[in-house]
Structure 1
Amino acid sequence: MTVPFAAADSGSGPLTWGQLAIWDAIERTAPDDRYFNFGRILKVPGVRTPAEVCAALGGLVAAHGALRTRLDLAGPRPRQRLAARGELPVERCSGDPEAVLAGLSARAFDYQAEWPLRVALVMDGPRVGHVVLAFCHVAADGLGADVAVRDLRVLLLRGAAALAGRSAPRPLDLAHWQAGPEGRRVAARAARLWEKVPHEVMFDRRAGAGERPRVRRAQLASPAMELAVRAVAARHRTSTSTVLLAATAALVGRMTERERCAVLPIASNRFRRDTARIVGMVSQEGVFALDGTGRPFGELLRAADPAALRAYRSAFHDPADRMRGGWAQPLCCFNDQRPARPDPAPCAPEEIRAVLPASRMSWPLGQDRLNCRFCVHVTGNLEVSLTADTVYLPRPEIEGFLYGLERLLVTEAGA
């Protein structure tokens, strides 16, 4: 099936800062760049035929320029090309929506020729039960994908009139603003924050030949760590994300025998009117630096709050400045992807100890290339994963980091 779409706007221009950042990561990860694909699954409200769902999809792509933008890689620098009209291929299938999403995400996008959105309609008899959307990361980040899913649901419930007159921000407009005088002033302020952190690779010593495939991901699902993180955040009056970021930095400092640890946390950058509701790639790395990683964890947390604030302020930056300036390149990242982050909450130590046996470790991913040597992701109900280059961090140390993170936080919570 194909879905036609038509809009009034088209054009070309430079990439946004967020697009530049993810494009650099994609180039350094290829041919394993399918790693960056991600998706969403929408349970279709009411009874909808394929034709009705396809009409809503056409309206969605027309409304959001990022979903009809491809890259031009012919020149010295990549550029984005916004198309006014075209046809989006749509699969029609049956089965488990999660399995369908895995299939859609399993191969890298053709960034020049393919639309940055893959869609499948999962049928429930004659009606559409679920819409499965796989996004190219150049076109959207997680919060941008959430905007697209919300708008698709609105279109299904209320029709095209629901989005009429509502001007969606476009990546092309954001790119032009970033290249202009005000954007350059913002970039200069961010550059000053980056320049204060020395260039340093955190994992700079090879531990061996590595495995095949070389990059491995371990994931720890730990109800005890979830309770402990909320309890520690409540005691120190900070966020659960800051607790996890500080704990990650503390353990990385100990593993690498460094008193100063630099980590790149991913920030959403959705604090401006032109980024709050954009379907686009806006999130970027900031730079988080923590000194004295061997100190008691409570002391580290007091230093982590202002360091995290500086990191998030540094995240809205021009990656071209970073490449020219020799800024911090720790190859060590932290990405809290939880859409809703639980509030801090006290918890009795015995409750935390009671669920410790429920912790489960799994190894969901292996591939040959990645742009980063060490990357922590936080998802769901505090499922923490570590994706690492086994040349620098062998499999036992990957597993040891995750259990060490659990142990540090459970101990800090008094359990």
Structure 2
Amino acid sequence: MVSAVSRIVVPFRGTTSGVEELTWGQREIWTAMVTQQSWLPIFFIEELAPGTTVEDVTARLRRQMERYDSMRTRLAFGPDGEPRQVVTQAGEITLEVFEAGDADPAGVAAEVQQRYRSDDYDFVRDWPARTAVVLCRGTPTHLVSVYCHLVMDAHARAAMLRGLGDSDATPNEAMRPTQLARWEHGDVARKLSAASMAYWERQLREIPARRFAPSTDPHAPRYWEAVFRSRALHLALQIIAPRAAGSTAPLLAVFAVALARVTGSNPVVAQVVVSNRFHEHLANVFAPVNQTGLWVLDVAGMTVTEAVGRARRRAMSTYKNAYYDPRDRADLIARLSWERGEELDLTCFFNDRRMSPATDDLPTAADVTAASATTTFTWRTRTDQPSERLFVHVEDATDDIYLSAWTDTRYLAPGDLEAVLREMEAVAIAAALDPAEPTRAPIPQPEHL
């Protein structure tokens, strides 16, 4: 393991401080952290522009800490165990400096990033940013940043970088997280949460309670992660949904058809991660505002192309009803589970993290068929650290679809997860070659509620 050659103490002094409940977005992330026993770090490696100095990086880190309340936020826990956000006005943070020497500086940056992600995180004492600069023979080449997900999401970081690019820029005038937490106690917010819960309740009363049957062949370690890359899937979506290939709904539809074919579970029910920044008051908030929306799709008795159209319509309702108090959702699920006399399984998740725009070029069927030869599938991680029963992430990639997916092997065997991912590609290719390709999904059976 490479060692830091120096540690620079960076003092900072902001203009705000305060203590408040978590925002709804923070509470959603906190629940995931407790479930997955992880601080869910989000991480980045940047290549630094020629001429960047260590002093430049230090100054940027100081501005980041001073301008954004989230960067000065830690947690405090009351007697009831509930976390509260604590914004501290001033303090010190450390910037580590690493020298790559004869090693590849990008490799050194990756090693540092992995160490930051793996180290324990203290929510009460640690600042939410871990930052390092990597040198190559004294010249800064890479910046490593690892953040606690509780204080930012990818869209918030993008806004931060835009602001930090201008040393004379004024601080973000958006609502601060402590202000947002207070706003979410008001009448307008409560009505939004109630409307979302009414939608969730309608859907939850109609769906089968279970998604996955317990496995008869459990594995150890229990949780497996797969990585799947497919240019053919990327190209096929452009033919199936030429005006919306880069959006989430067409890929969700293909996922639903594949999952229904492999598991026999239909309708497909998933919690879809939604960026709530289309709400005007959340557009520029520097804090996590993602929450999950409930997405239900019956894909039986139609073509894949028709399933894509239905998925897009259903997605609009999902996005609209993904802003709510997570405590309201927990109460709703508990009440309906009690009424039905069985647990409601909502442990299938889909998270489209792509931020790059899709291309407008329309491929040919021959392009799609040829690209299938480049598809790759690998198992990356096996662990006993908890995850959900199925969690599919869509990552940013230039010319392909890049999926990372976790399975709880007690409910979805590794072979079934691989089959779902490969079937997504097969479904999309077949529909690109023939718009009349049927979903071949099982017809839902009535269930006594």
Regarding TM over 0.5, the answer is yes
How far apart are 1:148 and its partner, in Å?
Answer: 2.6
Q: Which runs of 5+ in 2 are unaligned?
A: 1-7, 100-104, 337-343, 435-449
What count of residue pairs does the alignment treat as equivalent?
A: 405
What is the correspondence of 1:17-96 to structure 2 with a 5 Å cutoff?
A: 17-30=24-37, 33-34=38-39, 36-76=40-80, 77-94=82-99, 95-96=105-106
Most deviating of 266-275 and 337-346: 337-346
In 1, Cα distance between equivalents of 2:209 and 2:58: 48
How far apart are 1:166 and its partner, in Å?
Answer: 4.5
CA contact (8 A) 1:352 1:410 kept: yes
CA contact (8 A) 2:262 2:419 kept: no
Corresponding residue number in structure 2 for 1:242: 249
Structure exhibiting the larger radius of gyration computed from Cα positions: 2
Corresponding residue number in structure 1 for 2:184: 178
1:144-177, CA deviations, whole angstroms, 9 ceiling, x for partnerless residues? Answer: 122233333x1xxx43xx2235435421111111
Q: Is 1:124 aligned to 2:136, yes or no?
A: yes
1:114-142, CA deviations, whole angstroms, 9 ceiling, x for partnerless residues? Answer: 11111111113333222211011111112
* Match of residue 142, structure 1, among 154, 157, 160: 154
Question: 2:277 is paired with a residue of what secondary structure?
Answer: coil
Change (3 A) 1:403 1:204: closer
CA contact (8 A) 1:4 1:86 kept: yes
Change (3 A) 1:58 1:140: same
Q: Is 1:318 aligned to 2:322, yes or no?
A: no
How far apart are 1:101 and its partner, in Å?
Answer: 1.8
CA contact (8 A) 2:227 2:405 kept: yes
What is the correspondence of 1:11-410 to structure 2 with a 5 Å cutoff?
A: 11-30=18-37, 33-34=38-39, 36-76=40-80, 77-94=82-99, 95-96=105-106, 97-152=109-164, 154=165, 158-159=166-167, 162-164=168-170, 166-198=172-204, 202-234=210-242, 240-293=247-300, 295-326=302-333, 329-343=345-359, 345-381=361-397, 382-410=401-429
CA contact (8 A) 2:276 2:290 kept: yes
How far apart are 1:192 and its partner, in Å?
Answer: 1.4
1:68-127, CA deviations, whole angstroms, 9 ceiling, x for partnerless residues? Answer: 101112332211001101111221113322332222112342111111111111113333
Question: 2:318 is paired with a residue of what secondary structure?
Answer: helix
CA contact (8 A) 1:376 1:384 kept: yes
Change (3 A) 1:128 1:277: farther
Most deviating of 71-80 and 282-291: 71-80
CA contact (8 A) 1:227 1:347 kept: yes
Corresponding residue number in structure 1 for 2:446: none
In 1, Cα distance between equivalents of 2:269 and 2:387: 17
Most deviating of 17-26 and 341-350: 341-350
In 2, Cα distance between equivalents of 1:242 and 1:344: 17
CA contact (8 A) 2:238 2:245 kept: no
Amino acid at match of 2:258: L
Question: 1:130 is paired with a residue of what secondary structure?
Answer: strand
Question: 1:346 is paired with a residue of what secondary structure?
Answer: coil
Most deviating of 222-231 and 101-110: 101-110
Most deviating of 402-411 and 358-367: 358-367
In 2, Cα distance between equivalents of 1:409 and 1:296: 11
In 1, Cα distance between equivalents of 2:411 and 2:249: 26
Question: 1:188 is paired with a residue of what secondary structure?
Answer: helix
CA contact (8 A) 1:69 1:83 kept: yes
CA contact (8 A) 1:266 1:335 kept: yes
In 2, Cα distance between equivalents of 1:334 and 1:58: 36
In 2, Cα distance between equivalents of 1:115 and 1:165: 20
Corresponding residue number in structure 1 for 2:443: none
Most deviating of 262-271 and 244-253: 244-253
Question: 1:330 is paired with a residue of what secondary structure?
Answer: coil
In 2, Cα distance between equivalents of 1:239 and 1:313: 20
In 2, Cα distance between equivalents of 1:80 and 1:254: 44
Most deviating of 246-255 and 73-82: 246-255
In 2, Cα distance between equivalents of 1:345 and 1:329: 40
In 2, Cα distance between equivalents of 1:377 and 1:331: 14
In 2, Cα distance between equivalents of 1:299 and 1:335: 22
The percentage of aligned residue pairs carrying the same residue is 27
In 2, Cα distance between equivalents of 1:213 and 1:151: 43
What's the TM-score, normalizing by structure 2? 0.85
